[in-house]
Amino acid sequence: MRKQFITCYVLAVTLGAVSLLVAQGPAPGQAAPKGKGKGGPATPAGPTPRLPDGTVDLNGLWMGGGSNSSDITKGLKPGSEVVMLPGGEALMKTRRSQDDPEANCLPTGVPRGAPYPWRMVQYPTHRAATHIFILFEGNIHSFRQIFMNGKHPEDPDPTWYGHSTGNWDGDTLVVDTVGYNDKFWFDYLGHPHTEKLHTIERYTRTDLGNMTIDVTIDDPGAYTKPFTTTGRARLQPANYELLEYICQENNIDLVHVNAPAQLP
Amino acid sequence: MKLKLSMIAVTAGLLMMGLPIAAHHSFAAEYDSSKKLELKGVVTKFEWTNPHAHFYMDVTDANGKVANWNLELASPNMMQRNGWTRHSLKEGDHVEVVAAPAKDNTTTASATTILKSDGTKLTFMAAPPPDVK
């Protein structure tokens, strides 16, 4: 089965079909999961787990995200559309691939995801969580913190991940974030935003192995109206762990890049 | 050992090779996937580093001129999940490589497949387990 998987993988590379759903195998010491699926390891199956206080248990190592990281205009919720203001459109046209913050080992911001896993951590777990953390393997080792039932500061410093508060809407975690800087790009194409950006993410663990993530993006500084993206994350097998990924270590490739912002 | 370099251009429409998407920067902006580069030579260095692994190889052309090529791979974390280890390549390995050349015409390319002299075939991000070649 392993051999068959590798053969399929080589074919996929040859045909240019490698995508963010690229097949993953286990790290050393991590046994290969049984029933490996077409696009990666088998997604664990079972009902949506819950914590002792009754809230949905979102803890785990996940892969995927709430938007199309190549082009945010793909994968929108039905009825949603991305309409840029002239200033945003003009800025996007000036963007160069080598200037992409992600390519320069800076954070992806929200909702863009890196093609690496991330771990969600609810704290504490024996009673209602006060904090939820998202630990990123890449693009750099960074984290988001979500203050449950918290309040935004009146004048937050603009940051890469902003200031996030969380609440439960039934079984859906709703994360409200303001206070972003305007430095990160929404995708490889360089869709921009301003410090007026306000995001509302909705995380719904539909069963043990799957989570849907909808993200409403409201930025009156760059877009004529809010739009909502939708995506999915898959739980990684229990024997998978975050691995080290220090992007700044040897980022030598950008000297060969001199091109308009474009798809990966 | 007589080593040779050959570079074969193929039409973009055929898309003989694709460029990887699972990366932190745009490979399409850096490499020309419409061209297929075939390199045969000896590994001089293997960098098992982030954000992407690289290996370097000496390639001798028909006139005996040696060029050192820089071959970019995926990120070690994802390569590791797909069977690569930091020992998968080493200095002195004789390899045949299929790659997409950099658009800036330097001796830089994105490796698609690597065939080692012992028959092991590695790809950009996947390597077979020890019992499979």
The amino acid present at B90, given as its one-letter code, is K
Q: State the total domains in chain B.
A: 1
- Mean pLDDT, residues A248-264: 95
Q: Is B111 on the interface with A (CB under 8 A)?
A: no
Q: Are residues A231 and A146 in the same domain?
A: yes
**pLDDT confidence band for B13 (50 / 70 / 90):** very low
Residue A80 CB contacts under 8 Å (≥ 6 apart), including other chains: A227, A228, A229
**Is there a domain that residue A264 lies in?**
no
| Interface mutation target, options B15, B16, B24, chain A, most CBs of A under 10 Å | B24
Within 10 angstroms of residue A96's Cβ, the number of other Cβ atoms is 15
**The two structure tokens encoding residue A55:** 């809230």
For residue A21, pLDDT over 90 is answered with: no
For residue A97, pLDDT over 80 is answered with: yes
CB-facing half-sphere around the CA of B33: CA atoms within 13 A: 20
- Specify whether the CB–CB gap between A45 and A208 falls below 8 A: yes
Q: Do B30 and A257 touch (CB under 8 A)?
A: yes
Q: Is B3 on the interface with A (CB under 8 A)?
A: no
What are the pLDDT digits (tens) for B62-104? 999 999 999 999 999 999 999 999 999 999 999 999 999 999 9
pLDDT reported for residue B25: 85
User: What is the percent of chain B with per-residue pLDDT over 90, rounded to a whole number?
Assistant: 74
Q: How many CB pairs under 8 A join A and B?
A: 165
Model pTM score: 0.85
What are the pLDDT digits (tens) for A29-87? 333 333 333 457 889 999 999 999 999 999 999 999 999 999 999 999 999 999 999 99
Q: Are residues A71 and A89 in the same domain?
A: yes
- Mean pLDDT, residues B18-29: 74
CA angle A223, A225, A228 (to 5 degrees): 95
Q: State the total domains in chain A.
A: 2
Closest residue to A28, CB basis, from B80, B125, B126: B80
Q: Are residues A23 and A131 in the same domain?
A: no
For residue A13, pLDDT over 60 is answered with: no
- C-alpha A94: how far from its chain's center? 25
CB-facing half-sphere around the CA of B127: CA atoms within 13 A: 24
pLDDT reported for residue B18: 53
Q: Are residues A116 and A228 in the same domain?
A: yes
Average pLDDT, chain A: 87
Q: What is the DSSP letter of A158?
A: P
pLDDT reported for residue B21: 56
Q: In this structure, what CATH number is given to the domain that contains residue B15?
A: 2.40.50.140
**Is there a domain that residue B128 lies in?**
no
The residue that leads in pLDDT, A33 or A142, is A142
User: What is the percent of chain A with per-residue pLDDT over 70, rounded to a whole number?
Assistant: 85
Q: Are residues A24 and A89 in the same domain?
A: no
**Is there a domain that residue A261 lies in?**
no
CA angle A103, A106, A164 (to 5 degrees): 135
Q: Are residues A49 and A79 in the same domain?
A: yes
Distance CA B51, CA B20 (A): 14
Distance CA A174, CA B110 (A): 41
Q: Are residues A28 and A129 in the same domain?
A: no
- Mean pLDDT, residues A102-126: 96
**pLDDT confidence band for B126 (50 / 70 / 90):** confident
The amino acid present at B120, given as its one-letter code, is T
Where in the sequence is the domain holding A1, given as residue range(s)?
A: 1-42
Where in the sequence is the domain holding B39, given as residue range(s)?
A: 5-123
Q: Do B51 and A251 touch (CB under 8 A)?
A: yes
**Is there a domain that residue B133 lies in?**
no
**The two structure tokens encoding residue A82:** 């991305």
Q: Do A25 and B81 touch (CB under 8 A)?
A: yes
